[in-house]
Amino acid sequence: MPFNHDNMIGVRLAEDLVNLAWEGPWDAASLLRVLRSGFVTVSGTGQLDDDTIERLREWTTRVRRAFAAGSAGERADRLNELLTDGVRLIQLASHDDLPPHLHFADSEAELLQRIKALTAGGLAIFAVEAEAQRMGVCARPGCERVFADTSKNGRRAYCSAVCGNAHAVQRYRARQHGNAR
Protein backbone atom coordinates (compact mmCIF):
# COMPACT_ATOMS: atom_id res chain seq x y z
CA MET A 1 0.00 0.00 0.00
CA PRO A 2 1.69 3.23 -1.06
CA PHE A 3 1.42 6.11 1.36
CA ASN A 4 1.46 9.72 0.30
CA HIS A 5 4.23 10.99 2.58
CA ASP A 6 3.23 14.61 1.85
CA ASN A 7 0.00 14.02 3.79
CA MET A 8 1.73 12.65 6.88
CA ILE A 9 2.69 15.87 8.66
CA GLY A 10 0.36 15.13 11.59
CA VAL A 11 1.59 11.54 11.86
CA ARG A 12 5.26 12.60 11.86
CA LEU A 13 4.55 15.32 14.41
CA ALA A 14 2.81 12.76 16.65
CA GLU A 15 5.81 10.42 16.35
CA ASP A 16 8.27 13.21 17.07
CA LEU A 17 6.37 14.45 20.13
CA VAL A 18 5.98 10.97 21.62
CA ASN A 19 9.63 10.16 20.95
CA LEU A 20 10.76 13.48 22.43
CA ALA A 21 8.79 12.67 25.60
CA TRP A 22 10.68 9.37 25.82
CA GLU A 23 14.13 10.70 24.90
CA GLY A 24 13.92 14.19 26.38
CA PRO A 25 14.60 16.84 27.21
CA TRP A 26 10.96 17.95 27.38
CA ASP A 27 11.50 21.70 27.43
CA ALA A 28 10.43 24.75 25.43
CA ALA A 29 13.51 24.77 23.18
CA SER A 30 13.20 21.08 22.24
CA LEU A 31 9.46 21.37 21.72
CA LEU A 32 9.93 24.44 19.56
CA ARG A 33 12.32 22.52 17.28
CA VAL A 34 9.85 19.62 16.95
CA LEU A 35 6.88 21.89 16.32
CA ARG A 36 8.65 23.97 13.70
CA SER A 37 9.86 20.83 11.92
CA GLY A 38 6.19 19.76 11.91
CA PHE A 39 5.16 23.04 10.24
CA VAL A 40 3.36 24.29 13.36
CA THR A 41 3.40 28.06 13.52
CA VAL A 42 4.68 29.19 16.90
CA SER A 43 4.97 32.91 17.46
CA GLY A 44 7.83 33.07 19.92
CA THR A 45 8.42 30.90 22.96
CA GLY A 46 5.69 32.76 24.88
CA GLN A 47 3.13 30.29 23.56
CA LEU A 48 5.12 27.51 25.20
CA ASP A 49 4.60 28.49 28.82
CA ASP A 50 4.85 25.91 31.61
CA ASP A 51 1.11 25.17 31.57
CA THR A 52 1.07 24.56 27.80
CA ILE A 53 4.18 22.37 28.03
CA GLU A 54 2.57 20.25 30.75
CA ARG A 55 -0.75 19.96 28.88
CA LEU A 56 1.15 19.00 25.72
CA ARG A 57 2.98 16.27 27.68
CA GLU A 58 -0.40 14.92 28.85
CA TRP A 59 -1.68 14.94 25.25
CA THR A 60 1.47 13.19 24.08
CA THR A 61 0.93 10.45 26.67
CA ARG A 62 -2.53 9.89 25.21
CA VAL A 63 -1.14 9.83 21.66
CA ARG A 64 1.39 7.20 22.74
CA ARG A 65 -1.48 4.91 23.75
CA ALA A 66 -2.70 4.91 20.14
CA PHE A 67 0.72 3.77 18.91
CA ALA A 68 0.95 1.12 21.65
CA ALA A 69 -2.55 -0.32 21.12
CA GLY A 70 -2.56 -4.09 20.86
CA SER A 71 -5.33 -4.41 18.29
CA ALA A 72 -7.02 -2.46 15.52
CA GLY A 73 -10.13 -2.10 17.69
CA GLU A 74 -8.19 -0.74 20.64
CA ARG A 75 -6.30 1.64 18.33
CA ALA A 76 -9.58 2.89 16.86
CA ASP A 77 -10.90 3.51 20.38
CA ARG A 78 -7.76 5.47 21.36
CA LEU A 79 -7.88 7.48 18.13
CA ASN A 80 -11.58 8.25 18.60
CA GLU A 81 -10.77 9.65 22.05
CA LEU A 82 -8.08 11.85 20.49
CA LEU A 83 -10.42 12.98 17.73
CA THR A 84 -13.13 13.89 20.23
CA ASP A 85 -10.74 16.10 22.18
CA GLY A 86 -8.60 17.34 19.30
CA VAL A 87 -10.60 18.04 16.16
CA ARG A 88 -12.80 21.13 16.04
CA LEU A 89 -13.48 21.35 12.30
CA ILE A 90 -12.49 19.72 9.06
CA GLN A 91 -11.67 22.07 6.27
CA LEU A 92 -9.93 21.69 2.93
CA ALA A 93 -7.15 24.26 2.68
CA SER A 94 -4.73 25.39 -0.01
CA HIS A 95 -2.17 28.02 0.91
CA ASP A 96 1.54 28.84 0.84
CA ASP A 97 2.05 26.92 -2.43
CA LEU A 98 1.12 23.66 -0.66
CA PRO A 99 -1.11 21.08 -2.30
CA PRO A 100 -4.68 20.92 -0.99
CA HIS A 101 -4.74 19.47 2.50
CA LEU A 102 -7.03 19.15 5.50
CA HIS A 103 -7.07 21.44 8.52
CA PHE A 104 -8.63 20.13 11.73
CA ALA A 105 -8.58 23.40 13.70
CA ASP A 106 -8.89 27.06 12.90
CA SER A 107 -5.51 28.61 12.15
CA GLU A 108 -6.24 31.19 14.87
CA ALA A 109 -6.83 28.54 17.56
CA GLU A 110 -4.48 28.35 20.54
CA LEU A 111 -1.24 26.44 20.00
CA LEU A 112 -2.20 23.37 22.02
CA GLN A 113 -5.52 23.00 20.19
CA ARG A 114 -3.79 23.22 16.80
CA ILE A 115 -1.28 20.53 17.85
CA LYS A 116 -4.05 18.27 19.12
CA ALA A 117 -6.01 18.73 15.90
CA LEU A 118 -3.03 18.12 13.63
CA THR A 119 -1.88 14.98 15.43
CA ALA A 120 -5.34 13.47 15.99
CA GLY A 121 -6.50 14.19 12.44
CA GLY A 122 -3.25 13.00 10.88
CA LEU A 123 -3.23 9.76 12.86
CA ALA A 124 -6.89 9.12 12.01
CA ILE A 125 -6.25 9.50 8.28
CA PHE A 126 -3.22 7.23 8.55
CA ALA A 127 -5.25 4.66 10.48
CA VAL A 128 -7.91 4.61 7.77
CA GLU A 129 -5.29 4.09 5.06
CA ALA A 130 -3.49 1.46 7.16
CA GLU A 131 -6.65 -0.29 8.39
CA ALA A 132 -5.76 0.74 11.98
CA GLN A 133 -2.55 -1.27 11.74
CA ARG A 134 1.03 -0.18 10.95
CA MET A 135 1.61 1.83 14.11
CA GLY A 136 3.72 0.57 16.95
CA VAL A 137 6.38 0.81 19.59
CA CYS A 138 9.90 -0.38 18.77
CA ALA A 139 10.40 -4.11 19.48
CA ARG A 140 13.99 -3.70 20.74
CA PRO A 141 14.01 -4.12 24.51
CA GLY A 142 14.81 -0.82 26.14
CA CYS A 143 13.68 1.31 23.21
CA GLU A 144 10.34 3.03 23.61
CA ARG A 145 10.29 5.01 20.36
CA VAL A 146 7.08 4.86 18.32
CA PHE A 147 6.70 4.68 14.55
CA ALA A 148 4.20 4.68 11.71
CA ASP A 149 5.04 1.90 9.28
CA THR A 150 4.98 3.06 5.66
CA SER A 151 7.01 0.13 4.35
CA LYS A 152 5.75 -1.89 1.39
CA ASN A 153 5.08 -5.07 3.36
CA GLY A 154 3.79 -3.40 6.54
CA ARG A 155 5.77 -5.66 8.87
CA ARG A 156 8.03 -3.13 10.48
CA ALA A 157 8.77 -3.90 14.14
CA TYR A 158 11.51 -1.39 14.93
CA CYS A 159 11.71 2.40 15.00
CA SER A 160 14.84 2.29 12.82
CA ALA A 161 17.26 -0.05 11.10
CA VAL A 162 19.73 0.73 13.88
CA CYS A 163 17.38 -0.72 16.51
CA GLY A 164 16.54 -3.72 14.32
CA ASN A 165 20.21 -4.51 13.81
CA ALA A 166 21.05 -3.97 17.49
CA HIS A 167 18.27 -6.34 18.53
CA ALA A 168 19.45 -8.96 16.03
CA VAL A 169 22.95 -8.76 17.50
CA GLN A 170 21.53 -9.05 21.03
CA ARG A 171 19.54 -12.15 20.06
CA TYR A 172 22.56 -13.69 18.29
CA ARG A 173 24.80 -13.12 21.31
CA ALA A 174 22.17 -14.55 23.63
CA ARG A 175 21.97 -17.70 21.46
CA GLN A 176 25.77 -17.98 21.39
CA HIS A 177 25.93 -17.56 25.15
CA GLY A 178 23.23 -20.22 25.57
CA ASN A 179 25.10 -22.67 23.30
CA ALA A 180 28.36 -22.16 25.20
CA ARG A 181 27.04 -23.88 28.31
Span 36-94, pLDDT tens digits: 999 898 886 668 999 999 999 999 999 999 999 999 999 999 999 999 999 989 999 88
Out of 3.40.50.300, 1.10.260.40, 3.40.50.720, 1.10.3300.10, select the CATH number for domain 5-137+145-151: 1.10.3300.10
Q: Domain locations in the chain?
A: 5-137+145-151
Rounded distance, CA 174 to CA 77, Å? Answer: 38
Residue predicted with more confidence, 93 or 143: 143
The C-alpha torsion from 71 through 119 and 49 to 41, rounded to 10°, is: 170
Task: Record the pTM.
Answer: 0.88
Question: Which pLDDT score is estimated for 57?
Answer: 97
Nearest to 41 by CA among 95, 120, 1: 95
Q: Where are the alpha helices (DSSP H) in 24-160?
A: 28-37, 50-68, 72-86, 111-129
Q: Which residue has the higher pLDDT, 121 or 5?
A: 121
The average confidence (pLDDT) of the chain is: 90
> For residue 25, is the peptide bond before it cis, meaning its omega torsion is within 30 degrees of 0?
yes
pLDDT tens for residues 83-95?
999 998 999 988 8
Instruction: Name the more confident of 35 and 102.
Output: 35
Which pLDDT does position 113 carry in this prediction? Answer: 95
